Amino acid sequence: MTGPFAGVLAPVITPFAPDLSVDTARYTALCRRLLDEGCTGLVPFGTTSEASSLGLDEKLSLLETLGEAEMPMARLMPGTGLCALPDTVRLTKAAVDRGCGGVLLLPPFFVKKIDDEGLYRYTAEVIERVGDPRLNVYLYHIPPVAGVGWSPDLVERLVRAYPRSIVGLKDSGGDPAYSRDVLKRIPGFGVFTGDEKHLADNLEHGGAGTISATANHNVRMMRRLYDRWGSSEGEGLEHAVCAVRRTLDGFPTVPATKAARARLDGDEELMRVRPPLLPLDDARRRELHQKLDQLKATLGNP
């Protein structure tokens, strides 16, 4: 049941060209850099990737691009959960066929107040239609955005029915009690926290690590925390990781994450977002960069 992923994964930001098409050269270069910097894996098409702003064809084509760029596909966990069953099946199949180590599955998120039974049938259909023993599903629990979540009862039922396919989840619900509950019910389940603030709590309760926006610009430090958690360095690292995260508080997550990465790479092109998102304006960007610079002076090199 334990999935193939552990550690610190980045929901990779998606660079856009001036015409708002995906800038594939910058995209593959960024993926490579993130792995070099210490990401144990990457999540293309996560919330921070503006996944919902990418068309199905674009996602299929990006998976192809990543394969052709000889990315280590087993370390990829693309988000493949869309609203419509046929679209989800198609993207999930493509991910498995390209050798992705797992997929991150959002529930269908337009209709709210979905019964567990309906969500169970949907997920069962996805697994059976993909029909591939290589499929590793991580359930994506993010009710504050999706408006629909995976209840612990439903997670247990899915794991009982499909123990080889349902191997973990990402908890972006904001309350680590959810992860703890799931880990108590299903020991060894691959539970990632969506917020590195809860990484120590996650590991303490047998979790697998973190998939967090911040990994796009602070993975070295997050990785050190993951590797040395519980050692004498652990507490200091946790403090530093949380300080970096807090720096982005009050900024919209995706534009701020892009601005932080753009600063690291000295590449303003990375700041571009697709509407309906808006980039940070100049004043806000300066404010963010200043805060990150101050923190860098305090902490060494965040």
Least CB distance to a second copy at residue 282 (A): 15
Shortest reach from residue 30's CB to a second copy, in Å: 20
138 in catalytic set: no
276: exposed, middle or buried (C-beta count within 10 Å: 0-12, 13-18, 19+)?
exposed
In angstroms, give the least distance from the CB of 11 to a second copy.
Answer: 14
Separation of alpha carbons 225 and 231, rounded Å: 9
Number of H helices, E strands in the chain: 12, 7
In whole angstroms, the minimum distance from the beta carbon of 278 to a second copy comes to: 5
Q: Which helix (H) or strand (E) segment is 211 a member of?
A: strand 209-211
Cα–Cα–Cα angle for 21, 248, 225, rounded to 5 degrees: 100
CA atoms within 13 A on the CB side of 25: 2
Q: Report the residue number, 26 or 90, with the smaller CB distance to a second copy.
A: 90
Of 8 and 13, CB closest to a second copy = 13
Within 13 Å, how many C-alpha atoms sit on residue 302's CB side?
29
**Using an 8 Å Cβ cutoff, are 169 and 155 in contact?**
yes
Judged by beta carbon, residue 51 or residue 104, the one nearer a second copy is: 51
Residue of 138, 140, 178, 226 with catalytic role: 140
Nearer to a second copy, 46 or 209 (CB): 46
Determine the Cα–Cα distance for residues 123 and 186; give it in Å rounded to an integer.
18
- Residue 122 catalytic? no
């519980």: which residue's tokens?
Answer: 230
Which residues here bind a second copy, judged by CB under 8 A?
20, 47, 51-58, 83-87, 90, 107-112, 114-115, 117-119, 121-122, 125, 145-147, 274-278
Q: How far is the CB of 115 from a second copy (least distance, A)?
A: 6
Residue 37 vs 195, nearer CB to a second copy: 195
CB of 131 to a second copy, least distance (A): 14
Alpha helices for the chain (secondary structure H):
24-36, 56-68, 85-97, 116-130, 143-146, 152-161, 176-185, 199-204, 215-228, 234-247, 253-265, 282-299
CB-wise, 25 or 84, nearer to a second copy? 84
Under a CB-based contact definition with an 8 Å cutoff, are residues 150 and 107 in contact? yes
User: Could you give the CA distance from residue 219 to residue 255 in angstroms, rounded to a whole number?
Assistant: 18
Cα 203 to Cα 134: distance, rounded to the nearest angstrom: 26
Active-site positions read 140, 170
